Amino acid sequence: MLPRPVGRALVLWAIAPRVLGGLDALVTRGVSVEVLDALAVSLGVARGSFGTALTTDMMMEAGEYLEETTMRQSGALLQGLLMPNPATARIERAGAVLDLPFEQVAQGDIVVVQTGEAVPVDGLVIAGAAQVNEASITGESLAVTKEPGAQAIAGSTLESGLLRIRAEQVGAETTTARIAALIRGALEERSETEKLAGAQANRQVWMTLGLGAATLAVTRDLRRLSSVFLVDYACPIKLSAPVAVRATMSAAVARGILIKGGPSIEKLSAADTFVFDKTGTLTEGTLELCDVLPLGSQPGAELLALAAALETSAHHPIARAIRAAARAGGLTPPDGRCRGRGRPRAARPCCGGARC
């Protein structure tokens, strides 16, 4: 559709990055996949088939875009699942509590954390009491009690209570930030399989070049030579291993398993024994009420219903276990508002009718 000189100039401009990249790879690393890609698009220009050269480059760009997108999304998923930072933090300044962006929290600030919120800093608890879930950091599934004088860890979550924490480590210095840096380093570390795939891909280039030379010698046809270069498998061999490693790490994290990197995945194939340091690594961390043993003559069902009523608004794992046991036994905790009577009758479990 364009005048030939204009079309030629546009095609040369479009394929120039790939050709220059191939030349740079040839000088710095020798014959590699990048050199073969540069030859494939350059042949189209040499034959005067600019549409073929442009289409070839577009196909390569599309393939690289899909592979890079997969790797980028896998890396983002890993860090997002493991180390999600809160968007804001509640800071106490000059007697007022302010919601500030997470990035503006400074060392020495008093951070207020409520039930259900994540601790945004590493610091010292100066007031309050809470049950804190530190499973994402320590692996321990059961919540621990935090009171004044205890250390709070960024990334842990309050299951119940309220804490005022003096920030000691913020931003990149927090525990979660250091773990995130470790994960980024693991993503960049290449496994032996990835290195082998890269080396095999470069050897494949020599095979393709030899086959191309033989084809050209027999047919004297540049189109057939271009076809040999286009069906080369070196690029898929080189890029399939990194994509597979990152996809595996992402799938493992989605199931609660953190794999440090590609080398660790490889070592799993040779492992015949696994040693776990504590039961929290293996269990789900969900408590279950096994039995009710009244000390007096009060029926167990009645005692369970009362206990469930007391734990109605609690978020502690023990409270959830008591409520679950009451529901499983068909007991509705009394709410203290028995209709039809002038006073609550909390001594009997509710039957679910109009009266307790």
Q: Which residues are CB-neighbours of 137 under 8 A, at least 6 positions away?
A: 153, 155, 156, 175, 176, 179
Q: What tokens does 182 get?
A: 């470790």
Secondary structure percentages of the chain, helix, strand, coil, to 5: 55, 15, 35
Number of other residues whose CB lies within 10 A of the CB of residue 197: 20
277 is catalytic: yes
Q: Which residues are CB-neighbours of 127 under 8 A, at least 6 positions away?
A: 148, 163, 164
What Rg do the C-alpha atoms of the chain give, in angstroms? 32
Rounded-to-integer distance, Cα 232 and Cα 104, Å:
52
Rounded-to-integer distance, Cα 164 and Cα 160, Å:
13
DSSP secondary structure of 137-176:
HH---S-EEE-TTPEE-TT-EEEEEEEEEEEEE-GGGSHH
Given the residues 24, 221, 272, 277, the one annotated as active site: 277
> Is the distance from CB of 321 to CB of 288 less than 8 angstroms?
yes
Q: Which residues of 239-272 are buried (b: 16+ CB within 10 A; e: fewer)?
A: bbbbbbbbeebbeebeeeebbebbbebeeeeeee
Q: Catalogue the active-site residues.
A: 277
